[in-house]
Every structure is written in structure tokens, then in C-alpha cells.
Structure 1
């Protein structure tokens, strides 16, 4: 994974999984292998050498820790002297986790676009690194059978950087290996199952193995055949049976994950954690005693703690309906990497609670007539779906919902292996400019193109809006590279309407569009073709959508993407505030983002001014959404709450009572979407005196 090389005066830190290199100027010092276990934080490999000086070829921050505790932060542009001691330094940003161990005093400074470390004489320096492991390290090949899949899933825990409670941090959870079926079994050494002593027993069928895959990954567990599903560890056993395997597996995953987030506060990250206080109010727990236990013994202790009292303290982010068939195995590692709850759609009882909203006045089809506003329910033009059927998955309690199987899902996302691969292969951009291409091919829909993107102070948007394109003009535009493509117009079974006919994207060989919004009637099939041609993911419709409603929804989606939501989050918010929201779905990878939220994690505030605790105070719900950069288990400080309390990303919305002035101050410090009395607004546009 991590290798060290040399280029002139520079030490090269190379990550073969992520295909990135980081340079450190060591003045040509000779290196030797070092013990990775000497580092406090987990590293894949390490080297040692003697020098009196190190330099990084760009400005970096240096975080100085002693015995895992942060004692100094050295940002770029400042000179900091650190007194004598034994330290482990974390260097950021770097394309891998990079640590430096040394004894003695040092000076950290920046000059000439470089950050340097200077010592008072030569000393032994150790450099250790760990891959972010956002990409799979390789492929595991097993026989095409449920038992073969069990063997493959048992290797997923090899991607964990640690089996300590800190694996609840997303940076310590690597990408599981890919899965392939073949006659020749091949489990490379990097994918050797970890020796955790944890076992999951399930019946030998496709659906059962898929359902426990995420739990097995997080526990580093071996999956073996068993008539009654259960988890065993250090002599303890926990049943997953009673006919609700998916529900029980997910309940246990959330239980263990939450307790890990609590127990890890006894380690390197001693913070005031909201969830720790909440857990300690409900159950007896000794985090200090649990922290240093081996994973199997710690899990056995967790199994003694009742699940029900803690069941509402996490609000899981993603559910995947995965067809119980061999073809699903190719997508399984990507789904597990997202830490998704998995269920077999054939085993989920129907609730009948499906989308049946009225979609409005002028449908974005092209039948030459304006439909009456009283036309009922989302009309599906099934001819636009070629040979596939339209399916309505059973509702989920999570923000994100993914469908892996036959058919086009209404209200969920349908990924492809190609989309997932393109996302993880996407190179990190050094550009601050986000290229947005807007195409409007209908005069009566031009209102949607006004003030769509570019509301961020520190990001530059290059927005090009064009109108009334012909087929070849649209084809050429789609062949170019664009961060985002927003189409406003008509789509039907023939394709996307242009001035001289229709462009069918089934004829598109390749596209440079990264992500997109096709805001037109029944644009699902055309959007899927964009994904097949090279896009990562996009928002589409599965029904006819009313023109006025679609215009409002389109502008909302554009601003949410501009703010930093991924497609899962965009879809969730749109469903909350637009009656037409249920008409939209995602094709490809719904984890794609246009940019990162300025606060790191995108958030949503809900305020009901009609139900106030007092005349000059308001109750608000503050929900933080996960993204791939800040996945479940990350930490954040709620700036509405104040006081420095940390929260786990992935928790339920926080209910807070704030004064008018506190709300004004917090809302204007950060631009945040606000659902005010059921209407989506933006905090920097609110007049708080009118509440």
C-alpha cells in the first residue's frame, strides 16, 4: 500500500492504492525500514533516517501530539517553537495520513511556499503513512455460490486500518476489496481476513450473505454457514433470527457503532461528546475499561448492553435494496464502503405507503397540450423506459436509498459499477473554479435558469447558459468536460428535445459531464445513458412533472448542490419542501457532490414560528447530512448550540431553543438552508424581525 522511495534530495511517500505521491525534502538522508507499531496512530509502513531539517514543498499544517494528546497546532505562515519532548506530528493536507515521530525540540515555520521543520542538531526521525484507502486495493476471486460470497465478505474487514473503537472514524475504514467470480479461487495477501475472533452465522443463500455484509465488514467478522443467524465473539452470542435478519443486523451495527463512538473518547480524541452523555443517561457503561479490550472481548461486552434504550441515538444515513442474485456481488464492496444498511427487497413487507402526489399544471412532456392543474397523480410515460419496468421500493427511514436490481426505482438511486469506479478514480481537483453548463431548450422554461449557482464567497463558478441547441450542438456540448450539466426542457421516448428534433442519448458514445440534473418529464432513461457514457451520477425524473413545480424544484436542487449536499441529500430536502419531490430519482452514484459545504458538513435547519416556546425564542431542528468527505462517525460542533459540545455525524436532528438574537447571529455567520414554516429559505436572506 505505502512505499517509500527517493528522488534526489526528496523522500517519496507513495500510495499505490490511491496512486498518489507526497514529497518530503530530507536533504538526501539515507533511509531504513522502521517499525510501524512505534507510532501511536495506525500506519501501513514507516522509515527512519537521521537529519537536522525537513521541508515540505507546499504550506502545510503541523499538529503536534504527545502520547496521542494534541499539545500544539502550527498553521502555515506562522513560526512556532516546540519545547523538548517526544512527539508525533501529523501533517495536513497530504494525500495520505502522514505522521512524523521524533525526540527533542523543534521549530516549525513557513517561507517561500514551503513549510519546514528545523532541529537543534541531527536526530533520528521516523516517517509513517497510512493510505486513505478510498479505493479498493484489488480483487478477491471466489466461486459463484453463496459459500463463495461468504468467503469474499469475510475479507472485507482487511480494509479496516484498526480494530479499535477509532474505526468508527471514516478515515480508518478503507475500501473493501472488489469481488469477482471465477473457477480459480484467489485471495491476495492484502485481503487476508483479520483475526478478530468474531463470527457471523447465516443460512447459505445470497440474500442472507448480502444482508450481513456491512456488519461483517465493520466487525472484521468471518461469515460462515449456520441455520440460525447469529453473531459470536469471545464466548458471547447474539441472535439475528426471528425472520427479521435485515432489521436485526442493522440494529446491531448501529448499536456497536454508537458505543465505539462513545468509547473512543477515552483514546486520542478526548472531546465533550453529546452522544456519550446521552448513552450514559440510558445505560451503565465504563468506556475506560472497554477501550483497551481486544475487539472480540469488547464486542462481547457491548452485547451485554441493552439495544432498545439506545436505538434512537443514531439516525442511519443510507439503505440499499439489493436483489438476492449473483449479479449484485459486483456492486457489494461499494455499498459496504458507504456503510449502508442492506436488505433483500423480496423479504421486505409491503406497507402500501408509496408516492402518489399530484404533479401539477403544465407537464414537461411534449404532447402539445397544457394539462389541467387538477390532473391526478404522477403520470408515467412507460414508453420512455424501453424494456425496463418502473418499481416503487418500500420506504426507508434513512436519508439515502439505493436500489440494486431490475427496474427503475421511483424516489431512490440506481447505481452502476462504472459510476462507482469513476467516482473513486476521480482525481482531486486543484481548481477552485466549478464549471456548470446550463442548457434551456424551451422558451417558457427560461425562468429556471436565473440565479442558479455561484452563491459561495470562496468558490468561483464558471456558469455558461445556452438556449435552443440543435442536436449536434447538444452532442458536442455533452462530449466536453463539465463539472455539472443542468438541462431544462422536454424529454420523451425519442430523447432530449432540440430545435431540429430529438437527441437520443443512447447514441452518445462518451461524455465528460461529471454530474447532472435533467429537469424534464420522465428523463430517467436518458439520464441512465449519460451514466453509461461516462458520468458519475445525476438527478432525473420517473414521471411527468408540472412546469411551474419543476422550475421551483430545479432551482432548489441547484442551490442545494451549490451549498455542498450530495445527491442523496438534495433528494431528501426536495421531498420535504416540494410536492413534486417524489418524482425525482438518482441514476449512478448518489454520493457525488458539486463542492464541499463551507462548514464541512451540509446542514438543514427547520423552524416553526407558529409554535414558539416564548415570544422572543424559537425551537429549531438542526440536521447534519453525511457526505463522502464527512461520512458517518465524523465529528462536528453545532454552531447553533454553542458551548463546544461535539456531535457524531449521523445522529438525529438536534432540537434546540434559541433566542431571536442567537438565531440571527448563528444564521448569518454561515449560509444555511432553512425550512421556515414548511418553506425552504436561506439564512442569509431572512429578516428575523419579521418572525
Structure 2
């Protein structure tokens, strides 16, 4: 049965004991295993606590779901009962609601039942949720597309005043303009922007009415800089002499002062709104027990739950009273800082950047683009090429200039568009091709292939011919890594140089050229179909390369994989296309780095940071989980603090031992860095991992 209407992106199909919930926009599917012979029947979408696109009902005694997260249960009045990860049992007969996030956002309405629910991890580390009922029970299943693609298009002429008028309509994709907007599933992809002769806004789009207005001079520079804040707040945008935030309660907040320019003020407001919204929402639909709440709330001039029902403008006025230094220790790292040009050519990239909640700046020259400085979890700073610590508030700097800027990503709108529709395999379905001209490196590549996690297929090409390398570039692989020297003339192979214009359609979403000469831009790869190109001035050490490839297959974005593996420690790295893309999908696991620092013999301090992905975006609250083993016991102690926002540094109070560090390395769910060096199972070799940990980097 297919119950999706012709306009709904969601569909339901039953195949025996399996119900497939499809999302046509995302080209994704979530499977529910049921018992009993009951068929699917249409259900009303308005019977749920949260909005859904489509719904069906079925009578079952048991449900089983794989690879979901954020599983929460509410009673009939919308009061939270608990999270399924903590186990649900002994609840009285009644009507309950459940919410789970997987490849599709799922909501359940369980009618007049006594139920048990639990989550466990299978032998591969996947999350399994099982729900059982005392007797056959009617369950309404509602689903909502995650909508990481635009579903409407706004046409704007090459006039900054027209863009200013269009900005409020981009926030029409946010389902609720309260503090709940901090949940990423509430913030769906904004409408696309295309250039045309006149302003045309689809009739189905409605600009929000939040009582918040942003006034700016009508220039592209000002429009781009305030766009993320206007989107998040659902603010009206109008022309004014100087940048200001105007609230319906009469308050006017300057957005440019002697102490802070417009970009800094917008960044500060985004920081505080997302963070404080995540505390106020504890009084809302899905209280998670945020770790930040317990530490930050006592320092605030207000009691966060009291703000939940206030109008957005009044909430914001309270937020403005909090000193910045109080918020700084808890502010998450942003996924991207994008530097745009002050002209209409960059209009097209704006919606995708807003969907990520990227920070946006504007420059008149590529000389003003700051390089990415990867954040160091233990100090809050970053490391430059000389080892000096510097602070960074974004995981990646990207730009739209036709220039080669080390440590940044040159954005391409077509690559960003392809990133939305890329087929993402699971780790055991991923495939890598590694090419080199060096025999010793080829041997180490084959050793890596033997030790790689999961069932990832690795092909090694030693001194490939031009024909062999062309076939590898065009093959349908997850990523291609190539150490062959590359110049503007092409890639040098065993028999001849392979010019870029001889390449057909690039089959790998990620192509890593590890030995490029100045002048090689990677533009040809993106034009031929690649989503992200990684360009290095020389091959990095093999441990960093293997670490980055391992990270890619663990679900990290391209840039995060490179930077967490410290590839840039000794070589220049730049990206082209969309380096924020995730090419391996791990729905129920968030890419997580455990930064470990030795403090004494057999004692290590550690910090945990979870990284955003295409599924788990800014505003998500997570806590790491594992099976009942050494790692599980370590994480149970960590989780006493509660959930942490994606991108925040969760410093742990209690140290861990050498054996516990070794167990974290062997666990598939985590990346471990010891004193700044990435550790992998490849470090084991013939030596016990505990000895590797004790010896240090």
C-alpha cells in the first residue's frame, strides 16, 4: 500500500512484516519490522503531537526499528515519560506518543496500551529499538521528511533591495518560531534563490510574524551578513541607515558598535540564541536534560522555563541581558564560516548556508579570507603550521572567490546541490581507491586495506597507467585518493600525463589529489561531477592519510575527516566544491572525537565532542552510548551530566585509565586522539594497544 498523496514527499509500503517509510525528497527509507497480519490503513496527520506529512495506522503487538536516535516517549497530555535509550517499562495503560529520528522523522501514536520499550546495540554497533505491547494495539505511524532540499524557489533580480525583501521568506521553512527552532528537524531547508528579471515569491510561502525586525542599509554586504540571524529569528528585514535589531516591545539593539562590527554582533546573537533556546526548550516538547543547563542556568538572570511561553521578541530581550563571558564556555563550534563576495553572483549559495546555520561574512578580496584553524577540543584553540594555538569558532572556512586560499574550501553551487542527493552508503558498503607511484607506500596501503574497519572495500593502484587511473576516477566509488604528481597539465601516470579534459563523469563524490603543483585548482573535477576535492601540496604522512580515510568512512564530513586526522600539520590543504558533505551515512551514530591528554601514569583527562553531519545538525543534543563493556561503563559516567549540544566540548571531570583509552580506540563508535595524535586500530600491529597508549605519540 502506498498512502502518500501526490503532493506528499512521504510514502508507506508494507511487504509482509516490513513497513517501509520512504522520503522522496531525501531519497531515503526507514524500515519498521512489525508482527501480525494487519494491513496499513490511512490515518489523520493531526492526531500527533508534532507535524507530519503523512500517516497510517496498523494493529501490532511489537515494533522493531534500526538506526534511529532521539527516541522519546510522551503521555496523552504531552508530558515526557522518558527516553527509550533509558528503558521504558511499568507505565500504566494509556495513550502514548513516541518520536524517533532516522532517515525519516517518525512520530507514533499508541492507542490505549501497556507498553515496554528499550534500545540496544547489535553486534555491528547499530541502534535497535524494540517496543512491545501487552495485547494487539492500534499504532498510528506519522512521518515527516527531513527536507534537506528546497521545495520552492524565489526569483530575485540583481538588486540588493529585492534580496532584502526576499530574506524574510527564507524562514518560511522553519516549522515553529519559538525556542523549538533550535531543533534542526524544525528548521527545514529554505527555498532556493535564483536570479531573474523581477522578484517572484511562490504564493505558498508566508513570511513569519515574530515581532522581530532587522534594519540594514540595502547592500549585498549587509544582506549576506544578517541572513543567518534573520533566518533563525524569523525576522522581518527592512532598509535603514545603520544596522539594528528592532523588537516589537520597543527595544532597539544596535548591530554595529565601537567594540564590535556587524559580523561579530550577528555571530554573538546567533551563539546566544541557539544556546539559550536549547535551555528554554527544556520546558517544551522534548526536555533532554542538557548538561549545559545544569552548569549555565544558575548563572543566568532568568529561570529558563519561565521564558518558554513568552513572545519571541520578549525572549530575545532577556537573552540580550546575559554577559557574553557567561556563555563562552558553553558555545558550540559552528559548522562553517562562509566568506561571500558583495555581489549578486553569490545569491544561489545562500539557502544551503542557512540550512547549515553557517556564519556568513563578506570580503572584497581573497586576501581577507581567514584560513580554517581546526578546533582543539582540550584547549578551545587551534593550531597553525608553526604549532601556535589560535582560537576558531567554525569547523571550516569556505568562500566563493575564484582563488586558491590554503586552509579553505572554494564553494561551488553545483557541488552543494549534488551534495543534497548523493547516495550515502553505510560503512560496510563504502569503497575506496588508493593510487600511488611509490612501491613502499603501495605496500602500506595494502596493509591499511587489510586492517580497515567494517567491510569497506579498498583497491590499491601502484604506478597506474593513464587508462587505469581514468577508469578509477570514473568508477562508482566512495572516495579516490591519488598521490600521483599533478600539474595544470594533468595527473602524471606511469605511461603519460592524464589531462583533466580527458576525464569523463567523475564517479567518486570525493577526489583527493595529494601532490599538486601551484595552479591546480580542482575545478575540472567538480565540473565533471565530484562533490568535494581535497588538494595537498605534497603527500601527508601515511598515518594522517589513513586516519582521514577512516574518518570519512566513519561518517565525518570531508573537512572534519581531514582536520581531525591532523593532515594539515605538515602540508598545505585546501578544498574545492563542498567539503561539508558527508559521504557515508550512520544515522544512529554521531561522529565523535575523544581527546585524551596524559596527566599522570595510567591517568588521562579527556574531552568529548560530537560533530555535525547532514542528518545530525546544529542544535541537536546528544550523549554517547555503547554496549555493556568497558566503554559502556566509561560513557555511563560521562552521561551523568546529560546531553551535550553538537559541536560543544564536553570536558569530563573524572580521568580514565590506559586500558579504558585502549578500549575506546577499539570501539567502532569513537575517534580517539592522544595528546593531539589520532589513534586507530592500525596502531596495534604486533604491539598491544595499551602499550601504544602508554608510549604516547
TM-score calculated relative to the size of structure 1: 0.80
Q: Among 651, 670, 674, which residue is 1:676 paired with?
A: 674
Q: 1:524 to 1:213 in 2, by over 3 A?
A: farther
Q: Among 642, 645, 660, which residue is 2:638 paired with?
A: 642
Match for residue 350 of structure 2? Answer: 332
Paired with 1:505 and 1:171, the residues of 2 have a C-alpha distance of 40
Paired with 1:624 and 1:653, the residues of 2 have a C-alpha distance of 9
SS at match of 2:477: strand
Query: Are residues 1:600 and 2:596 paired?
Result: no
Match for residue 109 of structure 2? Answer: 101
Alignment of 1:242-321 (within 5 A): 242=257, 244-317=261-334, 318-321=336-339
Instruction: Confirm or deny: 8 A CA contact 2:430 2:456 kept in the other structure.
Output: yes
For structure 1, the residue ranges without an aligned partner over 5 or more in a row are 356-376, 379-393
Q: Among 220, 225, 239, which residue is 1:225 paired with?
A: 239
Q: 1:427 to 1:80 in 2, by over 3 A?
A: farther
CA shift, 1:18, in A, is 3.1
Q: Among 617, 625, 649, which residue is 1:652 paired with?
A: 649
Alignment of 1:290-689 (within 5 A): 290-317=307-334, 318-346=336-364, 396-429=392-425, 432-443=428-439, 445-446=441-442, 449-452=445-448, 457=453, 459-522=454-517, 525=520, 527-541=522-536, 544-545=537-538, 549-575=540-566, 579-581=569-571, 583-595=572-584, 600-609=589-598, 612=599, 617-637=603-623, 639=634, 642-645=638-641, 646-652=643-649, 654=651, 656-660=653-657, 663-664=660-661, 667=664, 670=667, 672-682=670-680, 685-687=689-691, 688=693
Query: Quick check: 205-214 or 549-558, which moved more?
Result: 549-558
CA shift, 1:257, in A, is 0.6
For residues 477-533 of structure 1, what are the alpha-carbon distances to aligned partners after superposition, in whole Å with 9 as ceiling and x for unaligned?
A: 222201111112211121101122111223323111121221113387363322211
SS at match of 1:180: strand
Instruction: Confirm or deny: 8 A CA contact 1:621 1:656 kept in the other structure.
Output: no
Query: Quick check: 305-314 or 651-660, which moved more?
Result: 651-660
Paired with 2:129 and 2:365, the residues of 1 have a C-alpha distance of 58
Instruction: Confirm or deny: 8 A CA contact 1:565 1:597 kept in the other structure.
Output: no
Alignment of 1:2-151 (within 5 A): 2=8, 15=23, 17-18=25-26, 31=42, 33-34=44-45, 36=46, 38-40=47-49, 42-45=50-53, 52-53=59-60, 64-66=73-75, 67-71=78-82, 73=84, 83-90=92-99, 93=102, 95-105=103-113, 126-151=140-165
CA shift, 1:193, in A, is 1.6
SS at match of 2:176: coil
CA shift, 1:410, in A, is 1.0
For residues 284-339 of structure 1, what are the alpha-carbon distances to aligned partners after superposition, in whole Å with 9 as ceiling and x for unaligned?
A: 22111112223233223222333342134214222111111111111111111111
Paired with 1:139 and 1:515, the residues of 2 have a C-alpha distance of 28
SS at match of 2:457: strand
CA shift, 1:260, in A, is 0.8
Q: 1:201 to 1:47 in 2, by over 3 A?
A: same
Number of matched pairs = 635
Paired with 2:521 and 2:534, the residues of 1 have a C-alpha distance of 11
Match for residue 121 of structure 2? Answer: none
Instruction: Confirm or deny: 8 A CA contact 2:526 2:532 kept in the other structure.
Output: yes
Instruction: Confirm or deny: 8 A CA contact 2:14 2:40 kept in the other structure.
Output: no
Q: 1:84 to 1:341 in 2, by over 3 A?
A: same
Paired with 2:293 and 2:511, the residues of 1 have a C-alpha distance of 40
Q: Among 237, 246, 257, which residue is 2:252 paired with?
A: 237
CA shift, 1:204, in A, is 0.5
Match for residue 378 of structure 2? Answer: none
For structure 2, the residue ranges without an aligned partner over 5 or more in a row are 1-6, 119-127, 374-384, 625-633
Paired with 1:481 and 1:12, the residues of 2 have a C-alpha distance of 26
Paired with 1:437 and 1:337, the residues of 2 have a C-alpha distance of 32
SS at match of 1:65: strand
Q: 1:656 to 1:7 in 2, by over 3 A?
A: closer
Paired with 1:633 and 1:59, the residues of 2 have a C-alpha distance of 23
CA shift, 1:584, in A, is 0.8
> Please, what is the CA RMSD of the aligned residues?
4.0
Paired with 2:391 and 2:519, the residues of 1 have a C-alpha distance of 20
| Larger Rg belongs to | 1
CA shift, 1:247, in A, is 0.9
SS at match of 1:481: coil
Alignment of 1:173-192 (within 5 A): 173-192=187-206
For residues 447-487 of structure 1, what are the alpha-carbon distances to aligned partners after superposition, in whole Å with 9 as ceiling and x for unaligned?
A: 55244457565x31111112222222222222220111111
SS at match of 1:172: coil
CA shift, 1:108, in A, is 8.0
CA shift, 1:434, in A, is 1.1
